[in-house]
Amino acid sequence: MFVPVAKLLACLFLASLVNAGTVNYDWNVSWVWASPDGFGRSVVGINNGWPCPPIEATVGDTVVVNLNNKLNNQTTGLHFHGISQVPTPNMDGPSGVTQCAIPPNSSVKYQFTVDAPGTYWYHSHNMGQYPDGLRGSLIVKDPNDPYQGRYDEEHVLAVSDWYHNDSITVVQDMLSPSNTRFLPPMPDNITVNEGRGLHINLTQGKTYRIRMINYAAFGAVMVQFDPHTMKVIMNDGAYIKEEDARQLRLAPAQRYDVLVSATDSDSGNYPFLVSLDVNRDWTSATEKKTWAHNYTGYLVMDASQPLNTTSVVNEWKPVDDAHFKPYDGAAAYGSYDKLMKLDFNFCLDQNGYHRSCVNNLTYIGQKVPTLYSAATTGDQNTNPAIYGQVNPFIANYNDTVQIVVNNIDATSHPFHLHGHHFQVLERGASGVGKWPGKNETYAANPPMRDTVVVMPKSYAVLRFRATNPGVWLFHCHIEWHVEMGLTATIIAAPERLRNMTFPDDHIAACKKIGTPYQGNAAGNTQNATNTTGFITVPPTSYDGASYSTEE
């Protein structure tokens, strides 16, 4: 058949236009009974199932999630961890920040473009809810993957700590004034792929891309493939120049994509060990460490042979991820326009309850979601005082912001920024103290990621460019510490948020739970600087995402 060239070209042109597709998910969120580790409990699942389904898309696609809350007793919401949400800051998902919590029998549509390839995840960002189960993988495929052709198969390795009690119970115990050492709840177990585990069939000559994700509320995970070396190709959804690692450590919310290859001399079944790290400082030579929760998976070459050899790990010395190099070799932003210095520590509030503080202030959720305040207070939205005690920080459009995090505490904490990858210019070793502020040598080509570990009694120096107008949280990704208030709020390019609008279903959720959605932190639409009604004392009881439908 003869096709005129012009017509053929037109078809090709059309094909490239429709290349970017839409992936749709209709999800009912509900309680499901599950026993991922042999212990039965209620978990928050999707469409009457658990584990929650993956989101899979290709770069440029639009993802649509119709989320229907069928929990009869809790509110909900979803955050898409690592997705930039350009230009949809109202789809980022944290309750009280970019939306109101979704009450039972309400639904909300999330719609956004996935503009960068990689391994991401989604999770509830609503009052300590995700450790009860509402989380899943979000994989964005890359037709132009620079590592294309280097691997034959891919697998997701999602690891988590696991609790037998629900989140509300464990947070209530943690916040109690009798918990004088501010101890977080200790996990009861470790899960891999939500209890389903993972074994990978290993074939001579083949290479496997393993997309590792840590879903944990608290524990980091150590990983070793015995005796295979991992080639790390991506961190937190950003390609890096491949680097060998014998061991990796993933803090809560971090991801690594690694290649593992069968060697010519391989024969047999090889264990890989995943160990939950709940120690104060894995780099400490003096701390006595505990490794109470392990999982052993296998690279299986011969299924007829038993899977009974175990990894021998005498010492966990994971590779230092602050030295990874970005794949494109991008240089560090040369200087900064704004310095955001955050000293954090544990603290007590006015009533003697345990909190975490940033520059001596704990994050206190306000009546109006912060993005809604930014969108409805006109010229006043550049004034941090109108947002209440959410630890607000204003960045102008395209400011290069340098975030300096000083960890006063004696344990490490993973810090996550919404809406951006940041550059990790420097990450001090454990115990070096606060950022000296001068005479620093920064990485020339720093890795970019969205979650970085700040070492005990040490600091980290990060930079990002505020080209994504919106309200973006910067917080410790230990979920229990979020519930203690270890969060700051970045209001980026506020002048560009003044024309922002919100979908009707999002506003309907606010109306249904009786939350104002306009004006300053207290919902004052007449005078944004009038702080009457701001919440200045954290609540003295904790009920998480609980919601009573009778009244």
Ligand X SMILES: *[C@@H]1O[C@H](CO)[C@@H](O)[C@H](O)[C@H]1NC(C)=O
Using CB under 5 A, list all residues that contact Cu ion. 413, 476, 478, 481
* Comparison of 19 and 530: residue with beta carbon closer to ligand X: 530
DSSP 217-277: SS-EEEEEESSPPEEEEEETTEEEEEEEESEEEE-TT-EEEEEEE--TT--SEEEEEEEEE
- Selection from Cu ion, ligand X, none that 413 binds (CB < 5 to 8 A by kind) is Cu ion
The span from the CA of 76 to the CA of 99, in Å, is: 11
Burial grade of 334 (CB within 10 A; 0-12, 13-18, 19 or more): exposed
Q: Which residue(s) pair with 487 in the sheet?
A: 475
* Comparison of 58 and 467: residue with beta carbon closer to ligand X: 467
Q: Which residue(s) pair with 43 in the sheet?
A: 32
266 near ligand X, judged by CB under 6 A: no
**Shortest-Cβ-distance residue relative to Cu ion:** 476
- Selection from ligand X, Cu ion, none that 398 binds (CB < 5 to 8 A by kind) is ligand X
The span from the CA of 45 to the CA of 76, in Å, is: 11
The span from the CA of 409 to the CA of 182, in Å, is: 11
- Selection from ligand X, Cu ion, none that 291 binds (CB < 5 to 8 A by kind) is ligand X
Neighbours of 29 (CB within 10 A): 26
Q: Tell the smallest beta-carbon distance from residue 424 to ligand X (Å).
A: 19
Binding residues for ligand X restricted to 46-65, rule: CB under 6 A: 47
26 near ligand X, judged by CB under 6 A: yes
536 near ligand X, judged by CB under 6 A: no
* Binding-site member from 165, 172, 294, 382 for ligand X (CB under 6 A): 294
86 near ligand X, judged by CB under 6 A: no
Q: How far is CA 264 from the centre of its chain?
A: 38
Report whether 425 contacts 461 (CB < 8 A): yes
- Selection from ligand X, Cu ion, none that 148 binds (CB < 5 to 8 A by kind) is none
Neighbours of 180 (CB within 10 A): 8
- Selection from ligand X, Cu ion, none that 478 binds (CB < 5 to 8 A by kind) is Cu ion
**For residue 274, what are the CA distances in angstroms to 135, 223, 234, 311?**
20, 5, 19, 10
* Comparison of 240 and 358: residue with beta carbon closer to ligand X: 358
* Binding-site member from 37, 145, 152, 154 for ligand X (CB under 6 A): 37
Q: Tell me which residue has tokens 């930079």.
A: 463
* Comparison of 66 and 229: residue with beta carbon closer to ligand X: 66
Q: Which of the stretches 67-75, 140-148, 381-389, 475-483 binds ligand X when contact is defined by CB under 6 A?
A: 67-75
Q: Tell the smallest beta-carbon distance from residue 11 to ligand X (Å).
A: 32
* Comparison of 188 and 241: residue with beta carbon closer to ligand X: 188
The span from the CA of 174 to the CA of 535, in Å, is: 22
- Selection from Cu ion, ligand X, none that 370 binds (CB < 5 to 8 A by kind) is none
Burial grade of 485 (CB within 10 A; 0-12, 13-18, 19 or more): buried
398 near ligand X, judged by CB under 6 A: yes
31 near ligand X, judged by CB under 6 A: yes
Q: How far is CA 452 from the centre of its chain?
A: 11
**Shortest-Cβ-distance residue relative to ligand X:** 37
What is the per-residue burial (b if ≥16 Cβ within 10 Å, else e) of 319-329?
bebbebbbbee
- Selection from ligand X, Cu ion, none that 188 binds (CB < 5 to 8 A by kind) is ligand X
* Binding-site member from 201, 204, 263, 350 for ligand X (CB under 6 A): 201
**For residue 254, what are the CA distances in angstroms to 140, 364, 415, 452?**
16, 26, 10, 8
366 HSE (CA, 13 A, CB side): 31
Q: How many residues contact ligand X, by CB under 6 A?
A: 43
Report whether 277 contacts 219 (CB < 8 A): yes
The residues binding ligand X (CB under 6 A) are 26, 28, 31, 37-39, 42, 47, 68, 73-74, 87, 166, 168, 188-189, 201, 275, 291-292, 294, 303, 306, 308-309, 313, 343, 359-360, 398, 438-439, 467, 496, 499-500, 524, 527, 529-530, 532-533, 546
